[in-house]
Amino acid sequence: MEAIILAGGFGTRLRSVVSDVPKPMAPVGGRPFLELLLDHLMPYGFDHIVLSTGYMHEKIESHFGSEYRGVKISYAVENEPLGTGGGMRNAVERCDGDEIVVLNGDTLFKIDYDDLARFFHSRPTRLAVVLRQVADTSRYGSVTTDCCDRISHFTEKAAAHGPGTINGGIYMLHRSLLEERPLGQAFSFEKEILQSRFADEAFYAYTSGAYFIDIGIPEDYMKLNAEN
């Protein structure tokens, strides 16, 4: 199992409370948030993790070095912002295998990765998206699926409201989905692959009710600190 963690964002909304480190390194209970993400991956047999970094990348590299709890750590540094898609495309060059898990470096979603892998392998697809049921979809937009778990519709944030399922920011995919795009090109994975191609290529949704928190805004960051 290999994973890419997208850890290159500027964290603009969080800067009022965390300004001296990149967002994934925001302290939670005296530890960097990124350690919480890595700790959750450890029991599932991940043996290589690629950190896609950019803003203040040196602080991440100096803290983690080349391994974490015996697991190899590699870095894919963005010299200029590449968006989620460009960052993933850049990071996949550091991966060895064909099947890769991708997750956001600012979201803790405690899913069962073994179960996700079983789901992915049981569908004829190059992409499984992890969804989360929430009470209010307006912050994220919503994702709709058909009776076979295939993604059938996306609703943008401006139009979303009320309970529903959101994109939880975790994917299991085949690397060929990213390698179709050129290296070094900035693009949004969500808009230019996921939302633009789901009607033509079958992308499936794995829905989990596991613990979920996104520290992208100060309120949720403070909530997580209160829990730890």
Q: Give the chain's domains with CATH numbers.
A: 2-227 (3.90.550.10)
Per-residue model confidence (pLDDT) at position 31: 93
Per-residue model confidence (pLDDT) at position 203: 98
| DSSP letter assigned to residue 18 | -
Per-residue model confidence (pLDDT) at position 55: 84
The tens-digit pLDDT sequence of the chain (228 residues) is: 999 999 987 656 666 566 667 889 988 998 999 999 999 999 999 999 999 998 889 999 999 999 999 999 999 999 899 999 999 999 999 999 999 999 999 999 999 999 999 999 999 999 999 999 999 999 899 999 999 999 999 999 888 889 999 999 999 999 999 999 999 999 999 999 999 999 999 999 999 999 999 988 888 888 898 998
Per-residue model confidence (pLDDT) at position 17: 62
Whole-prediction pTM value? Answer: 0.94
Q: What are 134-143's contacts with CB under 8 Å, separation 24+?
A: 134/163, 134/164, 134/165, 134/166, 134/212, 135/163, 136/161, 136/162, 136/163, 137/161, 137/162, 137/163, 137/164, 137/165, 137/166, 140/166, 140/167, 141/166, 141/167, 142/166, 143/167, 143/205
The residue to which tokens 């079983």 are assigned: 118
Per-residue model confidence (pLDDT) at position 21: 79
Per-residue model confidence (pLDDT) at position 216: 82
Per-residue model confidence (pLDDT) at position 63: 94
